[in-house]
Amino acid sequence: MRSPRAGKWDTSRIPDLTVIPTQQWRELRNREAVIELHEPPPILVVEVVGESTKTTDYRAKRVEYNVLNIPEYWVIDPLESKVTIFTLIEELYEGAEFAGTEPIVSGTFPELTLTAEQIFQAGEIDS
């Protein structure tokens, strides 16, 4: 997905997980799979924190994804065993942290029944 990294709009980010509508996915199958600036943003972007990507995942990408109007941005942090969900509200991200068996609350996926503990146990996410 195109991103305004370092003040330039010709760079791209490859999130660990990107959720887009089915129709948009079908269109991307027939060309370079880059979501351009004039296209609708992903519904959800997920980043998995590693020791070397912590600052980028929490800070730089948060700013970039905000500019791109991505409605929800998750940071899965196995280093601290928490999930942070950033929700775009009035052009700014508001964060909520979830850990252990506390149910994750997602405005984008309100029927979701998932905990941080389940995420970390599924496949043992490593950084």
Least confident range of 5-9, 14-18, 33-37: 5-9
CATH number of 2-121: 3.90.1570.10
Q: What is the pLDDT of residues 15-35, one digit of tens each?
A: 999 998 888 888 877 777 777
Token reading at 21: 């509508």
Partners of 99 in beta bridges: 82
The single residue listed with the structure tokens 């950084």 is 127
Q: What is the pLDDT of residues 48-107, one digit of tens each?
A: 999 998 988 998 888 888 888 999 999 999 999 999 999 999 989 999 999 999 999 999
Whether 80 and 50 have beta carbons less than 8 Å apart is answered as no
Partners of 48 in beta bridges: 76
Write down how long the chain is.
Answer: 127
Q: What's the pTM?
A: 0.84
**Domain range annotation of the chain:** 2-121
